[in-house]
Amino acid sequence: MKRWFTPVYWSAAVPLVALVLWSAMGSPDRAFFLAVMLLPGVLFFKYFAGDISFKDRRQGILHTVYFVAAVMLIEYLGIFFVYFNVEYPYTDTPPGIVMNPLFIWLLLGALLSIEWLLKSRLMAGREPERQKFITFISDRRRLTLELDTILYIESRDDVVTIATADGARHPTRMKISQWETSLDDRFVRIHRSFIVSRLHITRTDAHAVWLGNVQIEVSRKYREKLATI
């Protein structure tokens, strides 16, 4: 359900927007075309708004201004494309309502709010899907491991080693930083050279974690993460 929600929702959203624009455009075909051309700006906002950071307040405000300008530019380019390629033979000017930035932002906000509301209702109480396996290159061959069998990941010199619960060790050239971004919250980085599985941690203190009989030091930089283990 989660996998198909986004494409299904936005496929339904386009005809709904077309219905809103129909009275202004005078034709369902032209209204549908305009609704499709407005979609890139909405999706641009949806997928990139979260990248704005306000750790530096001035930079955050500046990036927000740039972001809003970029969204409006995408929307107006879509409107003008429809006007000059479809509407021009029928009218001398674009409909005033679709040129109104307040209307555009109202439409954008309505679509995103409805999506969030539907998703929160439909997905309520459901556990997120967990990746079960991971595939990587070890000793020049493709290897697939079950994530829950991994004890820890160790980086030493240019080689990263994957240690598993059965005692096996699999070398790979994939950097530990790449492993950190590829793994979910079942794993936590506790040292510049170590990522460990939360599932296999049997004991912790301020300076180390134990995975059964294996003791791994926790560096000062990552000690705050121990509170989440």
User: For the segment 46-65, what is each residue's pLDDT rounded down to a tens digit?
Assistant: 888 877 877 678 888 999 99
- SS3 of residue 83 by DSSP: helix
Distance between CA 36 and CA 83 in Å, rounded? Answer: 13
pLDDT above 90 for 215: yes
All structural domains of the chain with their residue ranges: 2-122, 133-228
Contact by Cβ (8 Å): 150, 197? yes
Mean predicted confidence (pLDDT) in 10-32? 84
| Residue 27, H or E segment | none
b/e per residue, 12-46, with b = 16+ CB within 10 A?
ebeeebbeebbeebeeeebbbbbbebbbebbebbb
| Residue 139, H or E segment | none
Distance between CA 174 and CA 188 in Å, rounded? Answer: 17
Summary count for the chain: helices (H), strands (E) = 6, 10
Computed over every residue of the chain, the mean pLDDT equals 85
pLDDT above 90 for 227: no
User: For the segment 119-168, what is each residue's pLDDT rounded down to a tens digit?
Assistant: 777 766 565 567 889 999 998 899 999 999 999 999 998 899 999 999 99
Characterise 203 by phi-psi region: left (phi > 0), alpha (psi -120 to 50), beta (else).
beta
**Which residues are paired to 209 by β-bridges?**
204, 216
Q: Assign domain 133-228 to a CATH class.
A: mainly beta
Mean predicted confidence (pLDDT) in 79-101? 71
Distance between CA 177 and CA 182 in Å, rounded? Answer: 9
Q: Which residue has the higher pLDDT, 147 or 116?
A: 147
Instruction: Specify the pLDDT at position 32.
Output: 87
- How many Cα atoms within 13 Å fall on the side-chain side of residue 7? 3
Share in percent of the chain as helix, strand, coil (round to 5) = 55, 20, 25
